[in-house]
Structure 1
Amino acid sequence: MTEHSQDFDYQAALAACASKERHGLHALYEQEGGRLLGVVMRIVRDHALAEDIVHDALINIWLRADSFDPARGSARGWIYTVARNLALNTVRNRGRELGLDQGGVEALDARLSYEHWQQNRAESSWADHGQRVEHCLDQLEPERRSCILHAYIDGCTHHEIAERMDAPLGTVKAWIRRSLLALRECMT
């Protein structure tokens, strides 16, 4: 594995994958394979399973690279989203087998999102992004900001947030949905 390079062109590598040029996938693996494995390991906590998920993620990236839309986010973010979603789906499926409730899966998802953000915020693009997020959060009404922070920082389920905020569940869900839309608009 190579060290993370600020100069690596993720979008070009995805374009090569979309054109079925193997060097694109190889370059992505060399650039991000180890970090993808680390992210997936934190989610599934099983090395062999994490390796399988990274392998499956790379296959999905290869097969779906033409669906990447740079208007919706960065190429590197898209790659991590593919791997992370596969890992979370695996946890969800195993959770059903183990009887894990949806609230537990939602809390795990929120906690892992925050851990991923913490791990990557040192990068300049993440630092800039973090400042923009902070600015956009400050634009929300206090109760809506609290709902977002409880969900994505504390890892609370909608039910737990409703209890903490002493608000109806439907209201909390609406606040979160509307706040996410406002954040998305503010970030663009």
Structure 2
Amino acid sequence: MALAPINDPQQLRAWLAAAAARDAKAFRSLYDATSPKLFGYALRILHKRELAEEVLQESFVSIWNSARSYQSQLAAPMTWMAAIVRNKALDALRRVDGTLEIDVDTFDSTILNALHDPGATPIEALQISSDAKALAYCMSMLEGLHRQVIGMAFYHDLSHSEVAQQMAIPIGTVKTWIRRSLERLKTCLAKGERP
């Protein structure tokens, strides 16, 4: 069976509508056409193949069960399915870490390790760009919850309301913390502060 291109939203909508009517064959076609891209998306968030595979499976179960609630006027099919994958991936991160922070893999473990490793060789130190090292240092200077909010908003691409929901804090607090944290990062980077 030839796969429809992922960028054919009409076909994806048709498969979703058929899946809502419990058409397993259409759902299989939807899976075949979209799972490679959605798996890649989960892998970028999780950085672990086993977790990404688990999240993909959970996501498609959710897509099957929620297909009736898909509203084409609100989101393209891939956008809707990617949101499900992202939410499942973030849930998986919380299960693994107990909290959702900037995980070391996402922020670049080389940079963070170099910040805390005074014994790094000159070659290792040269491999880290000065801008990346400065940003990592300035991020490390933020308060823990502020760093977490910035990480969720910018590294995990969550909206302010999603961050507020994930952290169980008011959206106004999230906006204030993000604004203040960005100001602190800007000031830190402008001063050229280094570890």
Of the three residues 27, 31, 34, the one matched with 2:33 is: 31
Question: Which of the numbers 60, 78, 81 marks the counterpart of 2:80?
Answer: 78
Q: Which runs of 5+ in 2 are unaligned?
A: 103-143, 159-173, 185-195
Distance (whole Å) between structure 2 residues aligned to residue 25 and residue 164 of structure 1: 43
Partner of residue 11 from structure 1, selected from 13, 21, 41: 13
Partners of 1:48 and 1:31 lie apart in 2 by 21
Distance 1:107 1:62, change over 3 A: same
Identity %: 22
Deviation, 1:76, is 1.7
* Residues in 2 aligned to 1:112 and 1:99: alpha-carbon distance in whole angstroms: 9
Which residue of structure 2 aligns with residue 40 of structure 1?
42
Alpha-carbon displacement from aligned partner over 1:49-80 (angstroms, at most 9, x marks no partner)? 11111011011000110011122111221111
Q: Is the CA contact (8 Å cut-off) linking 1:106 and 1:157 kept in structure 2?
A: no
**TM, length-normalised to structure 1:** 0.56
- The alpha carbon displacement at 1:7 in A equals 3.5
Report how far residue 112 of structure 1 moved. Answer: 4.0
Q: 1:90 is matched with which residue?
A: 92
Q: Amino acid of the residue matched to residue 159 of structure 1? A: W
The structure number with the bigger radius of gyration is 2
Structure 1 letter corresponding to 2:5 = H
Find the partner of 1:161 among 170, 179, 188.
Answer: 179
Q: What TM-score, normalized to structure 2?
A: 0.54
1:92–1:105 CA contact under 8 A, matched in 2: no
Structure 1 residues not aligned, in runs of 5+: 115-155, 167-188
Q: Does the CA contact (< 8 Å) of 1:53 and 1:86 recur in 2? A: yes
1:20 to 19, 22, 38: 22
What count of residue pairs does the alignment treat as equivalent?
125
> Given the alignment, which residue of 120, 135, 148 partners 1:104?
148
| Aligned with 1:60 (options 50, 59, 62) | 62
1:131-158 deviation line (CA, Å, top 9, x unaligned): xxxxxxxxxxxxxxxxxxxxxxxxx985
Task: Compare the two structures and name the one with the higher helix fraction.
Answer: 1
RMSD: 3.1
SS state at 2:73 partner: helix
Per-residue Cα deviation, 1:20-76 (whole angstroms, up to 9, x for no partner): 001221111111111111100011111011111101101100011001112211122
Partner-residue secondary structure (3-state), 1:88 = helix
Structure 1 contact 14–65 (Cα < 8 Å) conserved: yes
SS in 1 for 2:157: helix
Alignment match, 1:182: none
What is the rounded CA distance, in whole Å, between the counterparts of 1:34 and 1:158 in structure 2?
38
